[in-house]
A and B are shown apart, each in its own frame.
Chain A
Amino acid sequence: MRRPPRVEMFTLPQKDFSAPTTCLGPTCMQDLGSSHGDDLEGECSRKLDQKLPELPGGIINLGVSENKLCFDLLSWRLSQSDMQRVEPSLLQYADWRGHLFLREEVAKFLSFYCKSPAPLRPENVVVLNGGASLFSALATVLCEAGEAFLIPTPYYGAITQHVCLYGNVRLAYVYLDSEVTGLDTRPFQLTVEKLEMALREAHSEGVKVKGLILINPQNPLGDIYSPEELQEYLVFAKRHKLHVIVDEVYMLSVFEESVGYRSVLSLESSVLPLFPCRALCRLPDPQRTHVMWATSKDFGMSGLRFGTLYTENQDVATAVASLCRYHGLSGLVQYQMAQLLRDRDWINQVYLPENHARLKAAHTYVSEELRALGIPFLSRGAGFFIWVDLRKYLPKGTFEEEMLLWRRFLDNKVLLSFGKAFECKEPGWFRFVFSDQAHRLCLGMQRVRQVLAGKSQVAEDPAPSQSQEPSDQRR
């Protein structure tokens, strides 16, 4: 197995991009140190799992959050003749914010699907090559090196690297528990008290916090924040003059209607009667609220590299656009994205219903399997994953054991993500990605069962020093 590459040669400065030392906490350094764990997730799993079923010995990847259920629909749509247009202007330098025609389409699209009270404006849209780039650019223009964003954990761990690599920005964790205590009504519940506490803690450690990152629908919990909760967090942020980055990359992957997901862009002042005076403010602090969306998840095209920022703050938009020189996407792809996003009929009548139905079926299958095994899990019908509680399989309840269990899964050719990668406080949680074709999913679950039943025919655990931690750069 490949070791994480380290930049140690004398010809390079003593910067180690695999492990930026400025990030908070030793654990996050470890995660970064193994950023090339995605070599494992990516290369070997890709090479192997795509060959299935011709190659039944390949690794089944239930670790990377990709939607592989709708390639048929998407490749059909992307092969239509309207997608193949090539114009000189698409081949030349353009506005680094993105072509206007695309930003107009994005504004319309988000207005419609986020149910914004007023039409969103193309001037507030910046287009980049993916959500990771957007995190990087936002961190750079909102924070000085060494400053931090608050983030509730467990969270999509790759953000650590996104904000650190160029921006040298850290994350300050708001730890959540699975235990329902006090005023909490559900596991891993985020409350303003916890936010306040984490903020105080960061301050006491001399860390300057510039913002709050919220992922909604949540990754890895598969849960959503209610509009009321969201409003509370936003008011908290306003009180402390924090920016809020709301990552809504799963907003159209809510496959249970009853969940009642609301985008932050749909918020009106009427939600919370405490602030009726801000007639013009739809949000507590619109100038500090920045919304992210991308096609990677909702359209299952992580390889397409399209992400977008929506912010009313022109300074932020302009500053991010200044960095877009490094995060631009091909004009031809911009054209295709505009065509895709404007095809409301296909999205509403074909893509979304079918995608939701398939997600629901896959979800039902995996959750039934887990129930049959008597394994507790969390999942409320959003996203591609189930947050699975395997604590009972760890006799001592340590992260070492979590790692060993992950290893056992991998040795039995099924790749999962372990809780530590999401900075989960409690050892024993795993994220199962279920958005894959049935035959792979069945095989994957079969292998999971084998491991949990202790029947995997694999050699004993390797020494911890040889073990490799995965990171989840691909979410």
Chain B
Amino acid sequence: MSHWSDTLPVPSGQRRDQVPRGHSIYPQLLEITLHLRQAMREHFVQLTSRQGLSLEERRHTQAIREKEALLSCLICRMINLLQSEATSDLELQVPLPSEDSRGDVRYGQRAQLSGQPDPVPQLSDCEAAFVSRDLSNRGIDISVFYQSSFQDYNAYQKDKYHKDKNTLGFINLGTSENKLCMDLMTERLQERDMNCIEDALLQYPDWRGQPFLREEVARFLTYYCRASTQLDPENVVVLNGCCSVFSALAMVLCDPGEAFLVPAPFYGGFAFSSRLYAKVELIPVYLESEVTVTNTQPFQLTVDKLEEALLEARFEGKKVRGLVLINPQNPVGDIYSPDSLMKYLEFAKRYNLHVIIDEIYMLSVFDESVTFHSVLSMKSLPDRNRTHVIWGTSKDFGISGFRFGALYTHNKEVVSAVSAFGYLHSISGIAQHKLCQLLQNTEWIDKVYLPTNCYRLQEAHKYITAKLKALEIPFHNSSSGLYVWINLKKYLDPCTFEEERLLYCRFLDNKLLLSRGKAYMCKEPGWFCLIFADELPRLKLAMRRFCDVLQEQKEALIVKQLEDAMRE
């Protein structure tokens, strides 16, 4: 044992003879590994901060960064193991940093990338792994994955803009929420019929959802999806949100490691829902913005592309179990025509794929010249037993905090398997009653809520698109949803995901939260998603910040180009 410490460098000035006898090597190993990690980190910073200009070099940098992530993850696990041994041997309590002391990954990386020396050692994503010797590996994965994706959102939650109390706070145009009809919803939910406390609501429910609510959902969907025949409450499962429905579906349709095809760009939340519990992979079917002979519309999904993606996935040995479609699309905001929808469904049937159709924006179609066709309105589905529809109130009624999502499927096996997860995703009886009342009141929905919501979406959309036009920013003109998909390529030089990320950070520094294309698995760097379903004053301020950032970015680009020119 001793020759180990002779040959290995002992950090922090500790000499071998200082190690008390009878103690194991773990604490030492731990310290060496910590040292190693530090060295590795510095090395990688050096490697990646040497920014070349060619695409080749940038790819190289990207690859190095991926390797770094992998290595540091491995090292973290090692440290985890060592630490548990070390502490058990020495009763040495490594102080656990409090949550606040955890560094901000993004800023850390940024500082490193922009070549600024960083006096404080930056904690990476895997730092979470380092301190969490108490978690399982998958627990660490979940935690790290979640935190790295949501830290900006959490920053926003802690520092929200308020017109009186916090004028410098974050404005969030990155989370798809409809804040335009809060007045209507608040009023509606305070009405008398909402408040009912019955014994049955306080007792254990049917885990698929209370029968009265499932009946109401079936009736509601029959009406608003224009179903050809009355939908059956027995085919409905209600859970606390569409992500729960998606998670449970992924769980019952796939074994871990199996995959779904998803046209990309797509709503990034699915990435969590498929990964956190179910460990199902999402394989992007990449769509392009450019219009060509075969691509008659930007971001057009074709059966050829589906075929190709499936073939490629199979070639790589992946087992594809289904296809996920979002209609109206998120983030592109288009609607699939009944014809193309039929083609996708037939494609799926040909390969025995399940189709999960997320129609969560079905009542948020604000362009009156466009008609949305729900898959439930189709007279005959190619493969009824493998078609599963998701809908919820989060977007169409702007109540994401209410936690309600519904599954409609003809497949009884799927109903019963998803129901088995019901008690882990259940909705409070009191909330179920309110939802039932809400959905029941078709008159209010048709005469008050929907027209108002539609009008307000139109107005907000008009405002934001006018702004974008004035800024000469190309965007995808959508007819539905709460967002516009905008193209900021011209602000990126070179046009890479790294530059996209830096621009995203610049927005963030100016207290504006947006979503970037990468989060939607978009193939082309430079796209951003802008959520416009917010009140006008906030939207105006957000757009002011938006303009400022782009101005800043433009100036930075000019400086950079000048510098480059001088160097040459």
Contact = CB atoms under 8 A, between A and B. Distances in A.
Interface stretch (B181-189, B310-318, B449-457, B486-494): B181-189
Contact of B136 (A132, A143, A162): A143
B53 interface: no
Interface string A1-25: 0000101110111110110000000
A302 B425 contact: no
Contacts of B304: none
Nearest to B279: A145
Nearest to A93: B400
A92 B207 CA distance: 24
Interface stretch (A83-91, A184-192, A220-228, A254-262): A83-91
A79 B198 CA distance: 10
Contact of A13 (B131, B201, B255): B255
B129 to A, nearest CB: 9
Contacts of A68: 199, 203
A64 B204 contact: yes
Interface residues of A, number: 86
B198 to A, nearest CB: 7
B177 interface: yes
B202 A91 contact: no
B427 A129 contact: yes
Given A12-B414, A123-B99, A210-B136, A326 B243 contact: yes
A284 interface: no
B1 interface: no
B175, B414, B430 — most chain A CB neighbours (10 Å):
B430
A12 B244 CA distance: 19
A303 B403 contact: no
Interface string A90-101: 111111000000
Contact of A94 (B137, B147, B321, B401): B401
Contact of B421 (A17, A66, A78, A300): A17
A75 B179 CA distance: 32
Interface stretch (B43-51, B106-114, B138-146, B476-484): B138-146
Contact of A243 (B134, B199, B399, B430): B134
Query: Size class of B's contact patch?
Result: 35 or more
Given A303-B205, A332-B189, A71 B199 contact: yes
A141 B139 contact: yes
B374 interface: no
Contacts of A83: 195
B515 interface: no
Contact of B427 (A301, A305, A331): A305
Main secondary structure, interface of B, reads: helix
Contacts of B434: 332
Given A64-B204, A129-B428, A316-B134, A11 B143 contact: no
Interface stretch (B67-75, B245-253, B497-505): B245-253
B203 A319 contact: no
A216 interface: no
Given A130-B423, A165-B421, A322-B146, A91 B400 contact: yes
Interface string A321-351: 0110111111111001000000000000000
Contacts of A166: 251, 277, 421, 424
Contacts of A129: 240, 403, 425-428
B120 interface: no
Interface centre among A9, A11, A14, A18 (most CB of B within 10 A): A11
A300 B203 CA distance: 8
Given A7-B417, A130-B423, A315-B128, A303 B243 contact: no
B96 A91 contact: no
B331 interface: no
B116 interface: no
Given A17-B417, A92-B177, A129-B427, A302 B202 contact: yes
Nearest to B158: A95
Contact of B272 (A43, A241, A325): A325
A313 interface: yes
A303 B140 CA distance: 32
Q: Which of B147, B179, B204, B352 has most chain A Cβ within 10 Å?
A: B204
A322 B145 CA distance: 9
B276 interface: yes
Contacts of A42: 204-206
B401 A92 contact: yes
B307 to A, nearest CB: 21
A473 B420 CA distance: 11
B132 interface: yes
Give the top 3 A-B pairs by smallest Cβ distance, nearest first.
A141-B139, A322-B146, A315-B132
20 contacts: A5-B416, A12-B253, A17-B417, A87-B186, A129-B428, A130-B426, A301-B202, A303-B200, A303-B203, A314-B99, A315-B96, A318-B143, A319-B140, A319-B143, A322-B276, A325-B273, A326-B244, A326-B276, A332-B402, A333-B431
Given A78-B197, A130-B423, 8 more contacts: A75-B198, A86-B186, A91-B186, A95-B154, A142-B139, A305-B428, A315-B131, A326-B243
Interface of B: 84, 88, 96, 98-99, 128, 131-132, 134-140, 142-143, 145-147, 154, 157, 175, 177, 179, 182, 185-186, 189-190, 194-195, 197-207, 240-241, 243-244, 247, 251-255, 258, 272-273, 276-277, 321, 352, 354, 385-386, 398-404, 411, 413-414, 416-417, 420-421, 423-431, 434
Interface of A: 5, 7-9, 11-15, 17-18, 35-36, 38, 42-43, 46, 50, 64, 66, 68, 71, 74-75, 78-79, 83-84, 86-95, 123, 129-130, 132-133, 136, 140-145, 147, 162, 165-166, 210, 241, 243, 287-288, 300-306, 313-316, 318-319, 322-323, 325-333, 336, 473-474
